[in-house]
Amino acid sequence: MDKLWAPWRMEYIQDTRVKTEEGECIFCHLAKQTPDDKSLVLARGKESYVVMNRFPYNCGHLLIVPYQHTANLSDLSKEGQQETIWLLDKSLQILEECMKATGFNCGLNLGKNAGGGILDHFHWHVVPRWQGDTNFLPVLAQAKPMPEYLSETYKKLEKGFQNLGEVR
């Protein structure tokens, strides 16, 4: 029997924490990290930042996260709301250019019954899609093969985000 090797998934399966060991919200912690392939932070704005999902649904799965720790979009300032949407739009453009994505799933999990893993810190999910990117594994084996390591995807996207320009 062939084996599907996905070593990064075990950390997610075993980890129910959404806080650092010091008790800090993981998104608040990431907000202070240097953009690099360890933190997976790709870009910073004045109100929010872009980070790769450490446990992605697909290659290039990004999160747009405001610096403000809040569960509600309506709690963000007008500028904060505008910047998250601007970064969302720029992320789509960069994923098209750097990853050759041909479609996207973008969304929010708001509230405890929405299925999100981090309830207290609002964030957007941006999941790039390609023709034929799904198969029987997610349905039958509840597994998703990832064709490259996060560090390789980071290198591809880093170039696009370096040219992001001024955040509006």
**Average pLDDT over all residues of the chain:** 82
Instruction: Note the pLDDT of residue 163.
Output: 76
69 classed as catalytic: no
Residue of 29, 69, 121, 123 marked catalytic = 123
Residue 23 is assigned to a structural domain of this protein: yes
The tens digit of pLDDT for each residue in 50-83 reads: 999 988 888 899 999 999 999 999 999 999 999 9
Q: What's the structural domain count of the chain?
A: 1
> 114 versus 125: which is more confidently predicted?
125
Give per-residue pLDDT as tens, 40-52: 999 999 999 999 9
* CATH number of the domain within which 49 lies: 3.30.428.10
Structural domain boundaries enclosing 23: 17-162
For residue 87, tell me if it sits in a domain. yes
Contact between residue 41 and residue 161 where contact means Cβ atoms under 8 Å apart: no
The answer to whether 83 and 112 have CB atoms below 8 angstroms apart is no
- What's at 138, amino acid-wise? P
Sheet holding 124-129, edge to edge: 41-44, 48-52, 62-66, 124-129, 103-107
Q: Would you tell me how many other CB atoms lie within 10 Å of the CB of residue 109?
A: 16
State how far the Cα of 79 lies from the Cα of 94, in Å rounded to an integer.
22
